[in-house]
Amino acid sequence: MIQYKLQQIDGRDVAVTIIGQNISIPFDPDNTDYQDYLAWLAEGNTPIPADE
Amino acid sequence: MSYNGSGTFQINTSGQPVVTGTVISSTAFNSLTADLATGLSTAITKDGQTTVTANIPMANFKITGLGAATVGTDAVRYSQIQSGTDKLITVTGTDTLTGTMTPALTAYAAGNQFSFVAANTNTGAVTINIDGVGVKSITKNGSTALAAGDLTANSIALIEYDGTRFQFLNVGNVVGPASSTANAIPTFSGTTGKLLQDNTKVKIVSNNITMDGSTSGTLTVAASAVSGTNTLTFPANTGTAILDYSTPAFRNRIINGAMAISQRGTSFTTSSGSAYMVDRWQVGATQVSKITGTQSTTSATGFTYSQSLTVASAFSSGAADLFYLTQGIEGFNIADLGWGTANALPITISFWIRSSLTGTYSAFVRNLARDRSYIATFTINSANTFEQKTVTIPGDTSGTWATDNTEGINFGIDLGSGTNYNGTASTWTGSNVFRTSGSVSWVANSSATLFLTGVQLEKGSTATSFDYRAYGTELALCQRYYIKWTQTANSSWGIFEGWARTTASFRATAPLGIPMRASPTSSYSNVNINDGGAAYTVSSFTDLSTATTFAVQAAATGMTQYRPGSLGSNGSAAYIDASAEL
């Protein structure tokens, strides 16, 4: 099961990564990886919060 | 005496002139009356009693009030020439023509030209008999018999007698079909027919020149035999689809159809399910590790590479499983097709494919919402042999088809998806279907292979030759969707330069040479940060990119704030990539 984790810059969520993958997905509505993340959220899933 | 030969009437002078008071000699009188009789008998009588016995010199005077000629030996009244009665034949019949003229023709002579209005469209070879003079063939281009349709009902035919036959002079000046056959194209059954004579202009008014038929056609602009320039001029593009169907630029809407660009490597797995292969091509899969792929040098003639797929683990698809090889085409690149409108244009997809399994396969196109789809089946006839396949798909006048930077058309070839995706071939369907029930379930066959190359998707109903583009051009097209920066092991320089924003974050940015479709997803492998004094292990990237600038913030620990450094190899072969795939 895929698991997303939020990523922050200066306290603001700007991207997500996928646990276990060296990947970062920007919050761009035209980015299809971001669209997959939104679909994942729509299924009721919750991302891991960003590191403090 | 009478006329002196020059037109002067002379009286006999014997006994003349008579004298007053004297008796006129009978001899003189009789001579006079004889001369008068001779003179009057020699003159032309107005009631036509006399017959002219010699040519009459008119000394530039006209014969006026002349009656119209009715037989061939009558003098011609000028108005008869003006009305063309000497050339015009009244004709009856279809292939065996009977002609009549007024005055009636009495003989054919080489050089005689006549015209007539065809009563009917001929159905084969044609003969004519004018005023019973004799039956003669009407031929074209010398002695070639007329073909059906050379004479068109109500059209004017011009013929000339060559001493043996009548030759049809205006064979090339085809008069269009009768109004009852609107939109029909004049046809030529001969091999040398031409539309119009030389030195004329062809003007098409509100219509098209159409090549039609079961084979092929060519519209040729012939080179001039003398110095000069022949120009084929197209109008300004003020309407829709001026250069319809064969736009010379970007004819192939598929990118990397020759499978020559492969930035991700040359061998691929589906260990996470769906996975990209050579650039722009993706295996869609709901099951992991069933299919592997390579950029193969086994290819069709004329191509160097193919995308090869192999069934790594045979799988019998459940109803909801999907397996296909696909490419999404950006909406900007298919906007001119007019799909989703009443003016939707057809597309033709051609490709070279080879499979270890013969049978029926399904190619498909879908829209972004996956609520419009079209299945086009094709047959692989011989196992392990490259075969070129062509399918033509009518433009979709329904649905929503993106014309922006999102996916316009999704093209693919099914590899054995489940029954949920079964549909009917050769028709538009308002749901997400992309295979027929009878299509080969390729993924269900252990070690099955499939090779694909030379894929072209173009506007129109005809497949043209593959649109080879320069390698650099094709690479640039690919890099709008994916770009990969690589570095060999132990390289002494970085992939990107940057600086330590904090002791735990390093920021690197670089302009993208090719603006990407969207802000890209970044990923990396074997990358660390090196500031010249020490190397720091990267624990993660946070992507800050836009479509025009690649930017990441790499997390590490122990760096010196504000010190510049580089992102690069940690000692092993490294890469950083950016993906904005559809």
Test mutation, A13, A17, A31, A48, chain B, max B CBs within 10 A: A31
Of the listed ranges A29-43, B3-17, B345-359, B451-465, the one predicted with least confidence: B3-17
Q: Which residues of A touch B581 (CB under 8 A)?
A: 32
pLDDT cut 90: percent of chain B above it:
66
B99 pairs with which residues across the strands?
B91, B130
Measure CB to CB from residue A24 to each of B405, B521, B581 and give the nearest one.
Answer: B521
What distance in Å separates residue A21's CA from the closest CA in chain B? 8
Average pLDDT on B476-498 reads 92
Whole-angstrom CA distances from B232 to B222, B229, B246, B506, B529 are: 10, 10, 15, 59, 60
Chain B hits for A21, Cβ within 8 Å: 523
In whole angstroms, what is the distance from residue B280 CA to residue B521 CA? 15
Q: Which two tokens stand for residue B128?
A: 């004519």
Mean pLDDT of B71-80: 84
Q: Please tell me the predicted confidence (pLDDT) of residue B58.
A: 86
Contacts with B507 from chain A: Cβ below 8 Å? none
Asked whether the predicted pLDDT for residue B232 surpasses 70, the reply is no
The overall average pLDDT reported for chain B is 88
**For all residues of chain A together, what is the average pLDDT?**
96
For residues B159-181, one letter each, b for 16 or more C-beta atoms within 10 angstroms of the residue's C-beta and e for the rest, the string is: bebbeebbbbebbbebeebeeee
> What residues in B contact A3, CB-CB < 8 Å?
none
Asked if residues B301 and B466 have their Cβ atoms less than 8 Å apart, the reply is: no
CB contact under 8 A, B542 and A23: no
Position B229 scores a pLDDT of 57
Q: Is B580 on the interface with A (CB under 8 A)?
A: yes
The chain A residue lying nearest B539, using CA atoms, is: A22
**E strand or H helix that includes residue A33:** helix A32-42
d(Cα B101, Cα B120) in Å, to the nearest integer?
19
Interface contacts (A, B; CB < 8 Å): 61
- Give the pLDDT of residue B177: 44
**B45 pLDDT above the threshold of 70:** yes
What percentage of chain A carries pLDDT values higher than 70?
98
- B179 band by pLDDT with thresholds 50, 70 and 90: very low
CB of B286 within 8 Å of a chain A CB? The answer is no
Distances (CA, A) of B386 to B354, B379, B441: 4, 12, 19
Give the one of A9, A21, A26 whose C-beta lies nearest to B519's C-beta.
A26
Cβ pair B486, B574 in contact under 8 A? yes
Q: What band does B176 get if pLDDT is binned at 50, 70 and 90?
A: very low
**Would you say B279 and B299 are in contact if contact means Cβ atoms under 8 Å apart?**
no
What's the burial of A25, exposed, middle or buried (CB within 10 Å: 0-12/13-18/19+)?
buried
Residues 21-50 of A with CB under 8 A from B: 21-26, 28, 30-34
User: How does pLDDT run across B468-478, given as a tens digit for each residue?
Assistant: 999 999 999 99
Share of chain B above pLDDT 70, in %: 86
**A18 touching chain B per CB within 8 A:** no
Residue that the structure tokens 């603006």 belong to: B515
Cα distance from B546 to chain A (closest Cα, Å)? 9
Calculate how close chain A gets to B218, using CA atoms only, in Å: 44
pLDDT at residue number B221: 58
Which region among B68-72, B293-297, B499-503 has the lowest average model confidence (pLDDT)? Answer: B68-72
Position B225 confidence tier, pLDDT thresholds 50, 70, 90:
low
Tokens found for residue B501: 């924003």
Q: Count of CB atoms within 10 A of residue B254's CB?
A: 22
Look at B9-18, B265-274, B328-337 and tell me which has the smallest mean pLDDT: B9-18
The highest-confidence range among B75-79, B190-194, B457-461, by mean pLDDT, is B457-461
Q: Under an 8 A CB cutoff, do A26 and B544 touch?
A: yes
Residue B576 burial (CB count, 10 A): 27
CA of A19: which chain B residue's CA is closest?
B540
Considering only alpha carbons, which residue of chain B is nearest residue A22? Answer: B523
Q: For Cα atoms B371, B376, B377, give the angle at the middle one, nearest 5 degrees.
A: 135
Question: What is the arithmetic mean of pLDDT over B205-219?
Answer: 56
Contact between B344 and B397 under an 8 Å Cβ cutoff? The reply is yes
pLDDT at residue number B296: 98
Is the pLDDT reported for residue B269 higher than 50? yes
Beta strands in B291-371 (DSSP E): 291-296, 306-311, 323-330, 347-355, 359-366
Measured distance CA(B324)–CA(B450) in Å, rounded? 12
Does B545 lie at the interface with A, CB-CB under 8 angstroms?
yes
pLDDT tens digit sequence for B96-153: 999 999 888 999 999 999 999 999 999 999 999 999 999 999 999 889 899 888 898 8
Find the farthest-apart pair of alpha carbons in chain B and give their distance in angstroms, rounded.
Answer: 173
**Least confidently predicted of B46-55, B167-176, B307-316, B463-472:** B167-176
